[in-house]
Amino acid sequence: MAGEKGYKREMLLDRAIELFRRQGYSATSTAELVAELGVNRKSMYAEFGSKQQLFEAALERYSAIHLSRVLSPIEAPDANAATIRTAFDGYASASEGRFAGLGCLMANTAVERAALDPGAARFVDAYLDRMTKGFRRALENARAEGDVDESADLDDLAANFAMVVVGISALIRAKAPPALVYAAGRATVSLLDGEPRALAGTT
């Protein structure tokens, strides 16, 4: 009878998430994974099969836990224009905290791996689709409340907001000045009023 494992799969995945988030997939060696996870190489391969399979399992857990927490406000049934504004302010605030230089694992993967790795691309596509749909529903509520012009294309706005979130994460990953990150968020949510700041000349 096989003995019990000396580790929990979820714990290993959480450690892998942090390592992949810091270094990316390509820059992370198997030796570094073994050291970070605190198990031997044999145990790691027995649990996950390969580095690629470990990475995909980490993306799956990241989507289920971290992204659900980050996206839950805009996915709420009553999300509206105020929710979107607050969300972008929250995304930008990560530039001042412990996530500076890290960004979002899924957004980082979109830049590093999606074009090269079908396995990773599957998770990135689901992330972008989920985020876009969340913004779309929030925009529908905002329009019903009179906070978005009837002529606005909600699909275009939702897609734009999702892409800006990825861009903000890239700025955070690059340790861009927080003022720049906040400015990107403010300019984006000004689209809710139908008047982009750069075009309207408002402050």
**Following DSSP, what letter does each residue of 76-105 receive, concatenated?**
STT--HHHHHHHHHHHHHGGGSTTTTT--H
- Determine how many CB atoms are found less than 10 A away from the CB of residue 198: 9
Return the pLDDT at 4. 55
Return the pLDDT at 1. 37
Q: Determine the 3-state secondary structure of 67 from DSSP.
A: helix
Residue 77 domain-assigned (yes or no): yes
Residue 25 domain-assigned (yes or no): no
Q: What is the mean pLDDT of residues 96-122?
A: 93
CATH of the domain at 175: 1.10.357.10
Looking at the structure of the chain, the number of domains it has is: 1
Whole-angstrom Cα distance, residue 159 to residue 119?
A: 23
Residue 113 domain-assigned (yes or no): yes
Q: HEC states along 52-63? A: HHHHHHHHHHHH
Under the banding of pLDDT at 50, 70 and 90, the label for residue 7 is: confident
Q: What is the mean pLDDT of residues 48-76?
A: 95
Return the pLDDT at 91. 95
Domain containing 85 equals: 62-195
Residue 155 domain-assigned (yes or no): yes
Q: Which two tokens stand for residue 156?
A: 């275009």
Return the pLDDT at 84. 97
Q: What is the mean pLDDT of residues 79-102?
A: 95
Return the pLDDT at 6. 67
User: pLDDT (tens digit, 9 = 90+) per residue, 149-184?
Assistant: 998 999 999 999 999 999 999 999 999 999 999 999
Return the pLDDT at 203. 40
- Give start and end residues of each alpha helix (H) in the chain: 9-23, 30-37, 41-48, 51-62, 68-75, 81-93, 105-112, 118-144, 154-173, 178-189, 197-200
Return the pLDDT at 3. 46
Residue 132 domain-assigned (yes or no): yes
Per-chain mean pLDDT for the chain? 91
Return the pLDDT at 202. 40
User: pLDDT (tens digit, 9 = 90+) per residue, 106-116?
Assistant: 999 999 999 88
Q: Which two tokens stand for residue 2?
A: 């096989």
Whole-angstrom Cα distance, residue 17 to residue 97?
A: 18
Residue 6 domain-assigned (yes or no): no
In a 10 Å sphere around its CB, with 0-12 CB exposed, 13-18 middle and 19+ buried, how is residue 58 labelled? buried
Residue 91 domain-assigned (yes or no): yes
- pLDDT over 90 (residue 120): yes
- pLDDT over 90 (residue 193): no
Return the pLDDT at 97. 85
Residue 45 domain-assigned (yes or no): no
Under the banding of pLDDT at 50, 70 and 90, the label for residue 198 is: very low
Q: What is the mean pLDDT of residues 113-142?
A: 96
- pLDDT over 70 (residue 25): yes
Least confident of 10-24, 90-104, 188-202: 188-202
